[in-house]
């Protein structure tokens, strides 16, 4: 799958990762890589436009925190973001099941 | 070796076109992330120098990153400016309605006829442009579930720019009438227009200039295509909308089969001028429908509305993407596609 195709789903993937708990940009990209078994090898910077977009949409909120002498901006889901995750998960499962059913017949 | 990070952040800063506080925040976040990456590379055994180079390489090209932030800022700007202009247009309508109602006993500035012309007729053009911008920048992306991009973004920008400029005479007339003996509610709406329109216009022109960041190389989607796409999206989203969409499609197809001469007049995609003429007459009648129902028809007023509607379509329809593409353009595009 091309990187552009992955980027089309990036907002949803970021929300899905944040559903597991608050995270900063560096941790987010690590989680995306780990949870996809290394499949989503995206440029590290690509999560930031997605995070800012989701924040503007009111789906995530953020704040600075300090740990180990290092300042990080931590993102977490809002109530609207949690509802969006549930909706996107449902939509994705329906879509994936339909595509899978077609591929099984090929 | 710290220069690689400094260069990266410097290039990012110069290519980012967002507000100052957002730029500061982006640079701070990315700077922190790069520091983590450098530490990560060093933990893996890289020397400090190569660690910085590797971290910068892992982060992605600064121009691409900035382009994505800029595109989001452009979308956000178009969205907010559309709402602001819609608010100003609504206030202008309210002001005109309150000022011209019977018994208002007002002596508008500079004269009653100029006030009526600007506040009742002229204002309809920025209202229509603002409505197109609001549809393209806010409603259509929401209903389609896709971000605003390419030609619809450019068309939204043009609509906003036009609405912004055309609202200025409305703001001038509104400001000139603040000191007259209009009712308080009318003056409040006028004050909103006088103060809000210039601010919204600046905002709108800025957003319109940024809309080009979302433009694509080759994309022919016009307003009619977006309306059709929204119809299909709605049909897929709600059952009743699906039924309405199917009903409209079936009705149109059967009308085309039964009365091709009639549908030729209404097909905006293939016969924009005839369709515009029909729509102009319909708009003229519809805008004066209350008078017609009250048994006091003002045919001259209705004719003025219809002529104004048609002239606006003739002057602005092409620029705002309201006309279907001409057969010649479609043929040229197909030829270009076949040769590439």
- Could you say which residues of chain A have pLDDT below 50? none
| pLDDT value for B182 | 67
Which residues from A are below 8 Å from B59, CB to CB?
43-45
Interface of A with B (CB under 8 A): 24-26, 43-46, 48-49, 52-53, 56, 70-73
Tokens 């309605």, located at residue: B97
Strands (E), chain B: none
The pTM of this model reads 0.82
pLDDT at B102 over 70: no
Q: Where would I find the H helices in chain A? A: 3-8, 10-18, 25-35, 47-56, 79-104
Kindly report which listed range (B2-16, B104-118, B150-164, B323-337) carries the lowest average pLDDT score. Answer: B323-337
| pLDDT value for A69 | 77
| pLDDT value for B332 | 62
Mean pLDDT of B201-205: 91
Angle at which helix B62-100 crosses helix B3-15, to 10 degrees, equals 30
B37: nearest CA in chain A? A26
Interface of B with A (CB under 8 A): 22, 25-26, 28-30, 32-33, 35-37, 58-61, 64-65, 68-69, 72, 76
pLDDT in tens, A75-87: 999 999 999 999 9
Mean pLDDT of B195-217: 86
User: CB A73 to CB B69 under 8 A?
Assistant: no
pLDDT at B137 over 50: yes
With 0-12 CB in 10 A as exposed, 13-18 as middle and 19+ as buried, what is B96? buried
The residues, ordered by sequence, that sit 6+ positions from B36 with a Cβ below 8 Å of its Cβ are A26, A70
What ipTM was assigned to the predicted interfaces of this complex? Answer: 0.89
CA distance B40 to B265: 68
Share of chain B above pLDDT 90, in %: 32
CA distance B72 to B78: 10
- H or E element at residue B300: helix B299-316
CA-nearest of A71, A51, A69 to A61 is A51
With 0-12 CB in 10 A as exposed, 13-18 as middle and 19+ as buried, what is A90? exposed
pLDDT in tens, B292-331: 777 777 778 778 878 888 888 888 888 888 876 655 555 6
Residue-averaged pLDDT of chain B: 83
Which residues from A are below 8 Å from B33, CB to CB?
25-26, 44-45, 48
| pLDDT value for B181 | 63
CA distance A76 to A87: 17
- DSSP codes joined into one string, A22-38: -EEHHHHHHHHHHHTTT
**Spatial contact of B148 and B214, defined as CB atoms under 8 Å apart:** yes
| pLDDT value for B297 | 72
Any idea what the Cα angle at residue A60 is, between residues B205 and B151, rounded to 5°? 35
**Spatial contact of B94 and B183, defined as CB atoms under 8 Å apart:** no
Which residues from B are below 8 Å from A25, CB to CB?
29, 33
CA distance B56 to B5: 7
**Using CB atoms, which residue from B33, B59, B69 is nearest to A52?**
B69
**Using CB atoms, which residue from B22, B35, B60 is nearest to A44?**
B60
| Shortest distance, CA B226 to any CA of chain A (angstroms) | 20
Please tell me whether the peptide bond between B110 and the residue prior to it is cis, using omega within 30 degrees of 0. Answer: yes
| Shortest distance, CA B139 to any CA of chain A (angstroms) | 15
Kindly report which listed range (B97-101, B173-177, B198-202) carries the lowest average pLDDT score. Answer: B97-101
Mean pLDDT of B184-209: 86
CA distance B168 to B157: 17
CA distance B293 to B291: 5
CB pairs under 8 A between A and B: 53
- H or E element at residue B301: helix B299-316
pLDDT in tens, B257-278: 888 877 777 777 777 777 788 8
pLDDT at B105 over 70: no
The residues, ordered by sequence, that sit 6+ positions from A104 with a Cβ below 8 Å of its Cβ are none
CA distance B21 to B23: 5
In sequence order, what are the beta bridge partners of B100? Answer: none
| pLDDT value for B175 | 87
Task: Locate A8 and state its tokens.
Answer: 């089309």
pLDDT at B201 over 80: yes
pLDDT at B127 over 80: yes
**Spatial contact of B243 and B110, defined as CB atoms under 8 Å apart:** no
pLDDT in tens, B175-195: 888 876 666 777 788 888 889
| pLDDT value for B339 | 60
Which residues from B are below 8 Å from A47, CB to CB?
none
pLDDT at B336 over 50: yes
Tokens 């006030």, located at residue: B115
Residue-averaged pLDDT of chain A: 90
């Amino acid at each position: 799958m091309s990187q552009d195709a992955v980027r089309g789903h990036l907002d949803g993937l970021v929300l899905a990762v944040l559903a597991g708990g608050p995270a900063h940009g560096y941790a987010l990209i690590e989680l995306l890589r780990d949870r996809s078994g290394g499949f989503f090898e995206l440029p590290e910077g690509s999560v930031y436009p997605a995070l800012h977009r989701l924040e503007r949409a009111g789906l995530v909120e953020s704040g600075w925190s300090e740990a180990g002498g290092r300042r990080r901006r931590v993102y977490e889901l809002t109530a609207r973001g949690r509802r969006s995750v549930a909706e996107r998960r449902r939509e994705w499962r329906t879509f994936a099941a339909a595509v899978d059913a077609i591929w099984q017949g090929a | 070796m710290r220069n690689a990070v400094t260069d990266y952040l410097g290039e990012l800063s110069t290519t980012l076109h967002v507000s100052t506080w957002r730029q500061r925040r982006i640079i701070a976040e990315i700077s922190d992330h790069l520091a983590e990456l450098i530490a990560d590379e060093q933990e893996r055994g890289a020397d400090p120098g190569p660690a910085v180079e590797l971290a910068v390489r892992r982060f992605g090209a600064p121009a691409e990153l900035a382009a994505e932030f800029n595109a989001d800022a452009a979308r956000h700007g178009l969205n907010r400016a559309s709402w602001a202009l819609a608010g100003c247009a609504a206030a202008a309508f309210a002001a005109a309605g309150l000022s011209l109602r019977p018994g208002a006993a007002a002596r508008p500035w500079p004269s009653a006829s100029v006030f009526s012309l600007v506040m009742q007729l002229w204002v309809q053009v920025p209202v229509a442009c603002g409505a197109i911008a609001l549809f393209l920048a806010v409603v259509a992306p929401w209903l389609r579930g896709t971000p605003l991009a390419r030609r619809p973004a450019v068309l939204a920008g043009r609509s906003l720019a036009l609405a912004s400029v055309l609202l200025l005479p409305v703001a001038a007339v509104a400001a000139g009438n603040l000191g007259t003996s209009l009712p308080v509610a009318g003056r409040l709406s006028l004050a909103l227009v006088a103060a809000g329109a210039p601010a919204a216009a600046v905002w709108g022109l800025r957003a319109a200039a940024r809309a080009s960041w979302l433009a694509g190389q080759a994309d022919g989607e016009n307003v009619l295509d977006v309306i059709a796409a929204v119809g299909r999206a709605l049909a897929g989203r709600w059952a009743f909308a699906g039924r309405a969409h199917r009903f409209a499609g079936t009705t149109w197809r059967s009308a085309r089969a039964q009365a091709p001469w009639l549908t030729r007049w209404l097909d905006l995609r293939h016969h924009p001028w005839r369709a515009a003429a029909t729509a102009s007459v319909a708009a003229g009648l519809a805008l004066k429908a209350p008078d017609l129902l009250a048994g006091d028809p003002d045919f001259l007023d209705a004719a003025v509305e219809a002529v104004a509607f048609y002239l606006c379509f003739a002057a602005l329809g092409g620029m705002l993407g309201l006309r279907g593409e001409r057969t010649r353009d479609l043929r040229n595009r197909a030829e270009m596609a076949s040769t590439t």
